Chains A and B, each alone.
Chain A
Amino acid sequence: MDEEFGRFVAARGRSLCRAAYLLTGDWQSGEDLVQEALARTYQRRNRLRDASAFEPYARKVLVTQFLSWRRRHWHGELPHGAVADLPRPPNAEPADGGLGEVEDRSGLWPALRELSPQQRAVLVLRYYEDLTEADIAAALGCSPGAVKTHAARGLERLRRITAPRTEERRP
């Protein structure tokens, strides 16, 4: 690997991993996804205009690879309804390496896993990466209209999934 690309990986790899984690819901899978995206970017580097183009290209590959993986690998993620809130022993290890400790009263994080990959990707790019609809469309290889549709449907689904929990908290 050449020095310039190595510097890019060192500088931006972590940021890519954060986005990939939000897409996949799992840090290890996210790293895997980022490595694949970086490897493809590296193969393509001579055709990119300069080093500043590495990151947009890597992000585009990241998203398309995520969608492609979701098609190729038959994930066993199935909605399993409500999981009972079992009390955890005081000194027990967190089940997911501490990530479960993040307060998420909204229920949005588990709800995100129930969205289609396209909806999830659009919402992550829009509300975490702060990309414009045009940029998201370019990353996903679809039209801005399709981005709007995925975003609207994703938000609507999140609203439906989380609504009962919200209502339960009301006095």
Chain B
Amino acid sequence: MTDLEDALRGTLQARADAADREPALLPGLERRISRARRRRLLGSALAVTAVAAAAITGVSLTTATSPHPEPSRNVTAPTPHRGVPLTDVGRTPHGWAPVPYLGAQISVPTSWFIESSYSSICGGHVRGMVFLGGTKTPGGCGPLPANVVRLLPAGPGASALVPRALQPVALGPSGMDWATRGYGVKVVAIGPLAGRVVRTLTRSPLSVVLARGPAFAVPRGWQWHEFGGLRFATPPSWAVQRYNSWAGCGFNIAARIVWLNDAKKFSVASCPGTLATAGGMAANPGIEVSAGRYGAAGFSSTTVGCRMAGGARLCVLPPQNGNWGMLQVLAQVPGQRWPVLVQLGLAGSGATARTIFDSIRAG
């Protein structure tokens, strides 16, 4: 035992003794237990709603597509946009929602649960669950639903966010798992809807934004913003909202909002729960720019890659909170004391997000 270890032991004991007081645990605990019960009931209600909706619309979620291997087919590249292929939004059927992961994206019915390192949900009679990465099956949830999809990194080099090439989806001989090349993702799908889910595979909007290629030109009529030492363009219909307090919450982007925050104050907020279904977690188009003292507070300095853009150094952060529907970028602007955090919603084909990203420069 070294002096430092002795000192640490003493410090921890002294601090705990000094802070010690009778905790008021029970009232808050009762509330949390009730909330957890409600959440489980909500899961059941969602599942019932989904089944009812399916019955009404005539779309049967229980349709048993054949688990047999289907003929291999190419995941054809969507129409190139100035040499950069886009996310094929046509692969997402009506009533389904996209689920991006690394460079790939699949779509599943909106009621399916999404299990990630950030969120988990279970209970009820949901027909499908999607596990992102190595997320484990949540405990106490009972048996898995009929449809289970896992999106996993596909071995060496799989962490690359940009697919190097679009390649055919290789259907496994068992009809149960599909290794996709080029996306850096392995898809494992079981259940009656497995085949339909795998056929929705396309590249993710994140990979569109980060793909090599010429910058997307800003369309005429877009609005330009100058904030936090940055200049960037957004679609004309997006509303601008300004804030000055960084509340420390953030999972999704407000839809079609340009959210400008000078983050002068830091406040701890009680973060609202996210409905961890494919529909509830679907990415919104929008942008949040947080400058100032707390704008980038708490973000890791680990970056996926950096580039210079019109005098600003833009560093892409690894996806946080298990959220692959949002691009987070730290911008270092000459003359600005604090880095600026830019969060971009990765919805649709990725073209809008790419155009905004390519427009960012020092203002």
Binding site for B on A (CB under 8 A): 1, 6, 9, 13-14, 17-19, 21-22, 27, 31-32, 34-36, 38-40, 42-44, 47, 68, 71-78, 98-99, 101-104, 106, 108-109, 112, 123-124, 127-128, 155, 158-159, 162
Contacts and interface: CB of A to CB of B under 8 A. Distances in A.
B165 interface: no
Nearest to B263: A76
Contacts of A43: 33, 36, 140
Interface in B249-293: 249-250, 266, 268, 271
Contact of A74 (B16, B117, B250): B250
A103 B13 CA distance: 12
A17 B9 CA distance: 17
A21 B12 CA distance: 10
B297 A104 contact: no
Contacts of A98: 18
Most chain B Cβ neighbours within 10 Å, of A1, A43, A72, A104? A72
A49 B32 CA distance: 23
A76 B246 contact: yes
Interface stretch (B22-30, B87-95, B149-157): B22-30
B14 interface: yes
B23 A17 contact: yes
A27 B15 CA distance: 11
B7 A72 contact: no
A101 B5 CA distance: 22
Contacts of A102: 14-15, 18
A22 B248 CA distance: 22
A35 B25 contact: yes
B18 A99 contact: yes
Contact of A101 (B18, B118, B246, B299): B18
A112 B16 CA distance: 14
A109 B246 CA distance: 26
Contacts of A104: 11, 14-15
A1 B20 CA distance: 25
Contacts of A44: 139-140
Contacts of B294: 76
A51 to B, nearest CB: 16
B298 A76 contact: yes
14 contacts: A19-B16, A32-B28, A34-B25, A38-B25, A71-B321, A73-B248, A73-B271, A74-B248, A74-B299, A75-B298, A76-B298, A124-B12, A155-B4, A162-B4
B8 A108 contact: yes
Nearest to A34: B25
B15 A31 contact: no
Contacts of A158: 4, 8
Contacts of A112: 11
Most chain A Cβ neighbours within 10 Å, of B2, B7, B36, B268? B7
Contact of B5 (A6, A9, A42, A127): A127
A152 to B, nearest CB: 11
B21 interface: yes
B249 to A, nearest CB: 7
B19 interface: yes
Contacts of B74: none
